[in-house]
Amino acid sequence: MRLIMKNFRKCKVLKLMMIVMLIMLSGCSEKIVEVRLAPEYWAVFFHVGSVDNRIADALIQMISNEDNNVKFTGTTDLMGIATFTNVRQGAYTIIVSAPDFVTYTQVVNILGSTNQFSIWLAPLKISGSFHIHNIFDEGLAGASIRLINVEDASMVYEGLTDAHGAFFIENRIGGIYNIIINAEGFETHSRFLNLHRNNFRDTIRLTSVNAMGLIAVRGYNTGNIEGAIVQLVNRDDSNIRYIEITDINGQARFRDIGRGVYDMSVTHEGFQPFNSGLSSISGGFHGQVTLLPI
């Protein structure tokens, strides 16, 4: 009986040792690692439009920068959308063209799943108007306007504003222009404009050589006051003074005022006089006065 129990214990120990060895061997075995490579081909989406509308039937070409061959060609649908599939990742030159629009060229890199491009085409020829005003939004008649194309200096449009301060251009080539505006009594205005929108309307306000300004007069709880006397007196020379009467909108408009420091007084029957010093006046100025009843 003792011999049987002894043999049983030996078998149990051997079985336990075999289980431990199997566990150790399984821990030493090589693991199989799965490697997933990123796909080389993607879908590319284009949205083509102008400032005003989507553009249908725009021609899109994708030229590989690797071999300079056209890889994809297509046109936009009624929503201005074109889609290319199975596009291999890499650099491409995109050429987008449509009738009556300037051809668009851009280099893009196709890499990853997000390949969406919004492209805005500029009209080949544009029409529109410039409106030249002073700070009171009054049109300046006879102001000279000169538009010079940045890429082609021989492309110049020039003329004078009409009686309302308007200057119109029709069927002109769009692009970046330097606009130069001159008007008597005003500083020369010059800046660069990107003319890319058809039927545009651009209002430009010129700065007066001498000061121009507006004083709005209101009564306490009574609204605008018509007929108030607004007087500006130069602090350094009291002989230099300017007087204006407020209009139906309670506004007194001063034009061609010498630059300097002024004191202001406002009077109107039934209201207490108002007196105040103004800061140095130069260019354009605007102020508001509230009169108190007597």
Work out the end-to-end distance of the chain between its first and last CA atoms, rounded to an integer number of angstroms: 132
Q: Is the pLDDT reported for residue 108 higher than 80?
A: yes
In a domain, 62, yes or no: yes
pLDDT band at 168, cuts 50/70/90? Answer: very high
What percentage of the chain has pLDDT greater than the value 90? 55
Q: How confident is the prediction for the chain on average, in pLDDT? A: 85
Residues 221 and 179 in one domain: no
Q: Which residues lie closer than 8 Å to 31 by C-beta, 6 or more apart?
A: none
Q: Where are the alpha helices (DSSP H) in 42-114?
A: none
CATH number of the domain within which 97 lies: 2.60.40.10
Tell which residue, 139, 145, 128, has the closest CA to residue 205: 139
Which of 71, 97, 120 is a domain's end point?
120
In a domain, 162, yes or no: yes
| CA gap 127, 78 in Å, rounded | 25
Residues 223 and 193 in one domain: no
283 close to 207: Cβ distance less than 8 angstroms: yes
pTM confidence score: 0.61
pLDDT of residue 35: 45
pLDDT of residue 24: 54
Give the residue-averaged pLDDT of 73-88: 94
Q: Which residue did the predictor score with more confidence, 86 or 52?
A: 86
pLDDT of residue 25: 47
Which of 205, 236, 261 is a domain's end point?
205
Q: Is the pLDDT reported for residue 225 higher than 60?
A: yes
In a domain, 110, yes or no: yes
pLDDT band at 161, cuts 50/70/90? Answer: very high
Q: Is the pLDDT reported for residue 129 higher than 80?
A: yes
Domain span at 179: 125-205
Residues 58 and 105 in one domain: yes
Q: Is the pLDDT reported for residue 23 higher than 80?
A: no
pLDDT band at 43, cuts 50/70/90? Answer: very high
Q: Which residues lie closer than 8 Å to 181 by C-beta, 6 or more apart?
A: 132, 143, 144, 145, 146, 188, 189, 190, 204, 206
Which of 120, 136, 151 is a domain's end point?
120
Q: How many domains does the chain have?
A: 3
